[in-house]
């Protein structure tokens, strides 16, 4: 019997997608690990039952090429016209005041986080439907809260939430499960020192980065806390293979924060978020 198959987008080394690819491989699945550049997944190259594919979720041609590669692979090795699990993990973070975020930048974030996910699902979905499989859409706890400076990212993930939950209902008659994964903090390269960048503020911005935040950025320090990618991936893979469907909260204090914001009155939630983020930006001096 051929192995079950899973395709994971955004599987670059050091990220959640990479950890998920390894966790699925350890459970005996044939993994199609994808990233914009295969070289970004070098740590997966020698693992058995792993096929590395280039896939840029913002390029329809790239997504279609990945679908063709799956169909052309020997079914005995996990290829063919079926895909048991699709993991839409590709994403791009962004931190900046909304008034300073250029519209082209907002579109770029939505292209990766939302439209790329939708198009990947539309193109590869036929393979998942044929397998009566599972689609896992990696969203974020940020979609449930309105934290200052995260508006663009949060909005893109909120769009993912609505798409994913609606898709779940639409695909029930076809025997396909859809999971919306509200991810809490996980220690990955997305928030590591190597990837921490100062936000681009306009010359006449109302805001400036605080001295404390700038010192952290200059030192390349990553935020504290968070689940390990390995522990996070192991739990999520168990959820998927266990037949989960619907909304899941996984990662550092994801369930706690979600529950907290579901019961807090609006004014209390506002105070909490303002306090939690006050050390990042401050009003710029006006002349």
Q: Give per-residue pLDDT as tens, 132-166.
A: 999 999 999 999 999 998 999 999 999 999 999 99
Q: What is the mean pLDDT of residues 107-136?
A: 98
Q: In this predicted model, what pLDDT tens digit does every residue of 166-206 receive, in sequence order? A: 999 999 999 999 999 999 989 876 544 334 455 667 778 88
Are the CB atoms for 172 and 183 separated by under 8 Å? no
Nearest by Cα to 282 from 203, 216, 191, 213: 213
**Calculated CA dihedral for residues 115, 118, 123, 125, nearest 10 degrees:** 170
Q: What is the model's pTM?
A: 0.91
Give Cβ neighbours of residue 93 (< 8 Å, ≥ 6 apart): 153, 190, 191
Q: Which of 153, 177, 187, 222 is catalytic?
A: 153
Q: Which of 157, 177, 187, 222 is catalytic?
A: 157
What domains does the chain contain, in order, with CATH numbers? 5-188+199-282 (3.40.50.720)
94 is annotated as an active-site residue: no
DSSP letters along 239-257, please? HHHTT--EEEEESBTHHHH
Helices 229-241 and 16-26, interaxial angle, to 10°?
A: 50
Are the CB atoms for 91 and 136 separated by under 8 Å? no
Chain mean pLDDT for the chain: 90
- The pLDDT score that the predictor gives to residue 220 is 56
- Tokens representing 246 are 């619907």
- Tokens representing 51 are 């096929």
157 is annotated as an active-site residue: yes
Q: In this predicted model, what pLDDT tens digit does every residue of 63-100 receive, in sequence order? A: 999 999 999 987 876 778 999 999 999 999 998 899 98
Nearest by Cα to 278 from 286, 267, 270: 270
pLDDT band of 225, cuts 50, 70, 90: low
- Tokens representing 23 are 């966790």
Helix (H, G, I), strand (E, B) or coil at 21: helix
- Which neighbouring-strand residues pair with 208? 282
């Amino acid at each position: 019997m051929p192995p079950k198959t899973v395709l994971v987008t955004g599987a670059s080394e050091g990220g959640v997608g990479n950890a998920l690819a390894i966790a699925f491989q350890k459970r005996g699945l044939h993994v199609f690990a994808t990233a914009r550049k295969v070289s970004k997944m070098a740590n997966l190259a020698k693992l058995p039952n792993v096929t590395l594919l280039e896939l840029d979720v913002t390029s329809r041609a790239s997504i279609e090429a990945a679908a063709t590669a799956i169909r052309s692979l020997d079914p005995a090795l996990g290829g063919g016209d079926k895909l048991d699990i699709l993991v839409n993990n590709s994403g791009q973070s962004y931190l900046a005041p909304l008034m300073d975020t250029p519209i082209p930048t907002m579109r770029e974030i939505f292209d990766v986080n939302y439209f790329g996910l939708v198009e990947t699902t539309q193109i590869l979905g036929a393979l998942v439907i044929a397998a009566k499989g599972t689609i896992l859409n990696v969203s974020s706890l940020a979609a449930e809260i309105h934290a200052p400076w995260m508006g663009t990212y949060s909005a893109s993930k909120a769009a993912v939430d609505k798409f994913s939950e609606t898709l779940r209902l639409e695909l029930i008659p076809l025997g396909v499960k859809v999971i919306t994964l509200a991810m809490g903090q996980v220690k990955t390269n997305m928030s590591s020192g190597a990837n921490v960048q100062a936000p681009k503020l306009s010359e006449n911005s109302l805001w400036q980065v605080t001295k404390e935040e700038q010192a952290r950025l200059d030192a390349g320090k990553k935020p504290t806390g968070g689940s390990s990618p390995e522990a996070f991936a192991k739990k999520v893979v168990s959820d998927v293979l266990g037949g989960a469907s619907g909304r899941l909260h996984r990662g550092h204090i994801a369930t706690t924060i979600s529950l907290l914001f579901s019961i807090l009155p609006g004014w209390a939630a506002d105070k909490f978020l303002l306090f939690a983020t006050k050390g990042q930006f401050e009003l710029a001096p006006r002349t």
